[in-house]
């Protein structure tokens, strides 16, 4: 269930369709909701080495932070970031 979070934490940002394809490669024939590390590691290593998923472009990230900067001061506080990441 957390495969998307794991893949994203490794710096990869696949689409939902790409994530489902990846899941199909590592999931057991009878889906259990769990993935064995022995199946995940070789597939994810290849993804990382091939740079299969493009990172989020800088301008998209910048635009996202600009949208959160309500006071247009060029930054958001730690407290605001925590609020956005946990509550919003």
Predicted local distance difference test score (pLDDT) of residue 11:
84
Domains: count for the chain: 2
* Largest pairwise CA distance in the chain: 52
Question: What does the block give as tokens for 46?
Answer: 């290849």
39 and 78 share a domain? no
> Residues 4, 26: contact at Cβ < 8 Å?
no
**What domain range includes position 79?**
56-87
How many CA atoms, within 13 angstroms, populate the side-chain half-sphere of residue 79?
Answer: 0
For residues 16 and 41, give the distance between their C-alpha atoms in angstroms, rounded to a whole number. Answer: 20
CA atoms within a 13 Å half-sphere pointing along the CA-CB vector of 36: 7
Asked whether residue 66 falls in the same domain as residue 26, the answer is: no
Residue-wise pLDDT for 3-61, tens only, equals 888 888 888 889 889 998 988 888 877 777 788 889 899 999 999 898 888 778 889 88
Confidence of residue 88 (pLDDT cuts 50, 70, 90): low
Residue 1's pLDDT is: 67
């Amino acid at each position: 269930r957390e495969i998307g979070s794991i893949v994203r934490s490794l710096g990869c940002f696949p689409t939902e369709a790409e994530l489902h394809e990846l899941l199909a490669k590592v999931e057991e024939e009878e889906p259990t909701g769990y993935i064995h590390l022995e199946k995940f590691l070789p597939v994810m290593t290849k993804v990382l080495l091939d740079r299969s998923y493009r990172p989020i472009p800088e301008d998209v990230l910048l635009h996202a932070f600009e949208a959160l900067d309500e006071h247009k001061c060029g930054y958001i506080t730690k407290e605001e970031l925590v609020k956005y990441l946990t509550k919003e």
